[in-house]
Amino acid sequence: MSHQEDCIFCKIVNKEIPAAIIYEDEETMAFVDIAQVTKGHTLLIPKSHEENIFELKASTAATLFQVAPKVANALKAAFSPLGMNLVNNNGKAASQEVFHYHLHLIPRYGEEDGFK
Ligand code: 5GP
Ligand code: ZN
């Protein structure tokens, strides 16, 4: 499992810093975003440190998308959103701030939920 010193998400994987973990298995983890843009905003990550889509292994992508529907449905059951955005930023120019691959799962509650 590749790990990078000074990566905040690797630290969450290794339980060196706390997070509200809502799902975890051998290869993936989902936890609540520290600055939720809507109620239930969650990040799904591979435990392996792969920076973004440009270095994501196909096998890691497959694993992550096997888990994504489970996490989406858990959030749907917990928060009853009307819909959900899956967002993924790759590269600084595309607003990536944490350089450990992650999918944002953003529950949507209608026009007044504040997320554009
Ligand atoms: P990006 O812009 O890279 O796609 O998104 C990074 C996300 O990680 C942001 O939504 C930010 O709020 C979240 N984030 C950054 N640091 C932490 C942290 O220490 N814990 C958690 N739970 N989320 C974080
Ligand atoms: Zn990392």
Does the annotation count 102 as an active-site position?
yes
Q: Which helix (H) or strand (E) holds 13?
A: helix 8-13
Indicate the pTM of the whole model: 0.97
pLDDT digits (tens, 9 = 90+) for 18-65: 999 999 999 999 999 999 999 999 999 999 999 999 999 999 999 999
- Give the closest residue (by CA) to ligand 1 atom 5: 97
Residue 3 belongs to some domain of the structure: no
Q: How far is CA 14 from CA 11, 49, 105, 108, in A?
A: 5, 12, 22, 30
Q: Which pLDDT score, from 0 to 100, does residue 115 have?
A: 86
CATH number of the domain to which 83 belongs: 3.30.428.10
| Probe residue for ligand 1, chosen from 6, 21, 88, 97 as the CB with the greatest number of ligand atoms within 8 Å | 97
pLDDT digits (tens, 9 = 90+) for 64-113: 999 999 999 999 999 999 999 999 999 999 999 999 999 999 999 998 89
Q: Which pLDDT score, from 0 to 100, does residue 2 have?
A: 73
- Give the closest residue (by CA) to ligand 1 atom 21: 34
How many domains are contained in the chain? 1
| Range of the structural domain that residue 65 is part of | 8-113
Ligand nearest to the CA of 35: 1
Residue 101 belongs to some domain of the structure: yes
Reported ipTM: the value is: 0.99
C-alpha to C-alpha distance for 40 and 1, rounded to whole angstroms = 28
